[in-house]
Amino acid sequence: MRHDDELFRQTFSSSPIGMALVDERGLIDEANASFAAILGYVPEEMAGVSMGALTHPDDADRDADLREGLAAGELPYFQLQARLVHRSGDIVWTRSTVTRIGDATAPLRCLVQVEDVSEVRKAKDLLERRAQFDHLTGMPNRSLLLERTQHALTRHAHADSTVACLFLDLDHFKLVNDSLGHHAGDRMLVALARRMRDAVRPVDTVSRLGGDEFVIVLENIAGQSAAEGLLAVVMAAIQAPLTIDGHQMVPTVSAGLAMAEPDMTAETLVRNADLAMSSAKRAGRNRVALFHSGMRDSAIVRLSIETELRTAIHEGELVVHYQPVVDMRTRQTVAFEALVRWQHPHRGLLLPQDFIEICEDANLVVPLGAYVIHEACRFIAAHPEFDGKVLVNVSTRQIGGADLTRVVRTALEDTGVDPSRLGLEITESGMLLATQAANSDLAALASMGVDLILDDFGTGYSALSSILQNPVAGLKLAREFTLRLGDRATGDRISTAIASLSDGLGMYGIIEGVETEAQFRRAREHGWALGQGFLFGHPVPAQDVSFDGPGIAHLGSLLHRDPAAAS
């Protein structure tokens, strides 16, 4: 007995684990050095101190319950994670084991063994924080946002006020990243995050979902117009000029606003605001859109169109229609523009406006474009009686990375068509693609003898000099200018100026969207060489194109150009 006692004493005083003997009133008889050190005392100071006074109030009840179980002999010992209070007032997370000493008949005496697990706990807290906060801005991330939004929705279910969700996406953020680098991009995000935080009220949650997407949840808001008011403040804050690495910029955002509805989940509220934001982007960026239920339907339509498009390309549901381009002096057809359509099994004939953009977003525009180029070449090969050109529209995404040159060369070789018979219509932004791959794609096509035509000219904001670095053969005036013909103040002047500009640059000019004889007359007076529009002919399927009669010119000299002259 003595020996055992001695052994226990030694273990008790030298153990690295904190140990204390506690009596039936919960007062410490004796504590070892480790126990005292964990709480910031020396062992002598511990005698007579109540365990209850050392335990965090929130954990005290649980502790008392377990102690009772121990006293009643129901438990031989218990273990728990408990917060103790350090001498400094700080909280120490511990793992405690409380063991009864002696048998159930004797008065309760316990051995309390305590390990400091604060470090482990801190690491866990940090992980939790990482899981809930965006590391760049320190703002709540998606999971914490959804959690808080769900709470807000529950709290406001029966209140007079409501909850609103703002979904913000920076415009052209990729440009900042690509031109100034990721560090500059990060700094911009941090700066804008702070602006948003400062623009809203303390109850609101500003979160970053990743990339350049931010979501703000407005709690306790009176209604839609109050939310719109706050959104206007946020937008204004974002748009103040910002200097990053010596570059001044004026950031803009596209924003969607959605209001909570009864029984709505946090996911739905955020998704509605996201749908509204996408619609603001499509409407031209730097604006706000309000969610309405029609947006959900159109998103569903977009989604199913995307799925169906993948098969449509292989199933031959895409068809190409051909619209004549005429010589303005003779009204004879000298070329056709190839325009894609989708013969949808349920929805009928879909026009490019219904699916081209979805195609671009879903990376389907490259296979679609290759199909249209092949079809156009087959059309030329199938009609030896026609010796004009066919003009095919290409998307920016087909140029450069997707190797448009190879696609065109293959199509020409497969059908035995001469490159001079093909023209490619490219928009201003396509011509402006500054990448090495894009430039060499365009240069290679031009040197093969394929015409590059600037489509929808006048709608972009690019400097003429940068567009003309590419070997451009022709220029098409955007239809919105044709609509303004007859307006002497500007419409006629723009038309005249661009017609003579294209002439002066050695390009052929095409005016599109000519619907009336009056427009035709004016356009001819202004000097347009070529014209296109419903007045001359609608786009029709290949089998409906008629080549008989005097309508078709045998390739006028107009479209015969020396490719070297453009460069």
Which positions touch ligand C2E (CB under 6 A)? 323, 339-340, 351-353, 356, 365, 369, 372, 393-395, 425, 455-456, 512-515, 532-534, 539
- 456 contributes a contact to Mg ion by CB under 5 A: yes
Residue 534 interacts, among ligand C2E, Mg ion, none and using kind-specific CB cut-offs from 5 to 8 Å, with: ligand C2E
CB of residue 421 to ligand C2E, shortest distance in Å: 17
d(CA 278, CA 298): 11
CB of residue 392 to Mg ion, shortest distance in Å: 9
- 441 contributes a contact to Mg ion by CB under 5 A: no
d(CA 414, CA 378): 9
55-79: string of b/e by CB count within 10 Å (b at 16+)? beeebbeebeebbeebeeeeeeebe
| C-beta neighbour count of 39 within 10 angstroms | 23
Find the Cα–Cα–Cα–Cα dihedral 122, 126, 128, 131, rounded to 10°.
-170
| Closer by beta carbon to ligand C2E, 280 or else 514 | 514
Beta strands in 260-388 (DSSP E): 288-290, 318-327, 333-344, 348-350
Separation in Å, CA 274 to CA 160, 260, 270:
25, 14, 6
- 428 contributes a contact to Mg ion by CB under 5 A: no
CB of residue 299 to ligand C2E, shortest distance in Å: 21
Residue 55 interacts, among ligand C2E, Mg ion, none and using kind-specific CB cut-offs from 5 to 8 Å, with: none
Taking CB atoms within 8 Å and a gap of at least 24, the contacts of 30-36 are 35/112, 35/114
| Closer by beta carbon to ligand C2E, 144 or else 364 | 364
Residue 369 interacts, among Mg ion, ligand C2E, none and using kind-specific CB cut-offs from 5 to 8 Å, with: ligand C2E
**H helix or E strand, kind and range, residue 227:** helix 224-238
- 425 contributes a contact to Mg ion by CB under 5 A: yes
Residue 306 interacts, among Mg ion, ligand C2E, none and using kind-specific CB cut-offs from 5 to 8 Å, with: none
Q: CA 424, 427, 430 angle in degrees (round to 5)?
A: 90
Residue that the structure tokens 């959804």 belong to: 146
Tokens representing 551 are 């309508």
d(CA 424, CA 391): 6
Contact of 153 with 163, CB cutoff 8 Å:
yes
CA nearest neighbour of 349 among 323, 321, 370: 321
Q: Which stretch binds Mg ion (CB under 5 A): 258-266, 278-286, 456-464, 536-544?
A: 456-464
CB of residue 347 to ligand C2E, shortest distance in Å: 15
Residue 372 interacts, among Mg ion, ligand C2E, none and using kind-specific CB cut-offs from 5 to 8 Å, with: ligand C2E
| Closer by beta carbon to ligand C2E, 372 or else 566 | 372
d(CA 40, CA 30): 15
| Closer by beta carbon to ligand C2E, 52 or else 460 | 460
Residue that the structure tokens 């000298």 belong to: 334
| Closer by beta carbon to Mg ion, 235 or else 339 | 339
CB of residue 360 to ligand C2E, shortest distance in Å: 8
CB of residue 276 to Mg ion, shortest distance in Å: 30
| C-beta neighbour count of 86 within 10 angstroms | 15
Instruction: Give the list of residues 6+ apart from residue 371 with CB closer than 8 angstroms, or none.
Output: 313, 318
| Closer by beta carbon to ligand C2E, 19 or else 366 | 366
Q: Which stretch binds Mg ion (CB under 5 A): 290-298, 352-360, 433-441, 448-456?
A: 448-456
Contact of 115 with 95, CB cutoff 8 Å:
yes
448-479: string of b/e by CB count within 10 Å (b at 16+)? bbbbbbbbbbbebeeeeeebeebbbbbbbbbb
**H helix or E strand, kind and range, residue 215:** strand 213-221
- 393 contributes a contact to Mg ion by CB under 5 A: yes
Q: Which stretch binds Mg ion (CB under 5 A): 110-118, 183-191, 407-415, 452-460?
A: 452-460
- 455 contributes a contact to Mg ion by CB under 5 A: yes
CB of residue 337 to ligand C2E, shortest distance in Å: 6
| Closer by beta carbon to Mg ion, 259 or else 426 | 426
CB of residue 189 to Mg ion, shortest distance in Å: 37
Residue 112 interacts, among Mg ion, ligand C2E, none and using kind-specific CB cut-offs from 5 to 8 Å, with: none
CB of residue 476 to Mg ion, shortest distance in Å: 5
| Closer by beta carbon to ligand C2E, 243 or else 353 | 353
CA nearest neighbour of 170 among 185, 181, 183: 185
Tokens representing 380 are 């030329």
Contact of 166 with 273, CB cutoff 8 Å:
yes
CB of residue 427 to ligand C2E, shortest distance in Å: 7
Q: Which stretch binds Mg ion (CB under 5 A): 86-94, 158-166, 222-230, 425-433?
A: 425-433
| Closer by beta carbon to ligand C2E, 333 or else 393 | 393
**H helix or E strand, kind and range, residue 205:** strand 205-210
| Closer by beta carbon to Mg ion, 274 or else 455 | 455
CB of residue 459 to Mg ion, shortest distance in Å: 9
Which residues in this chain contact Mg ion in the complex, by CB under 5 A? 393, 425, 455-456
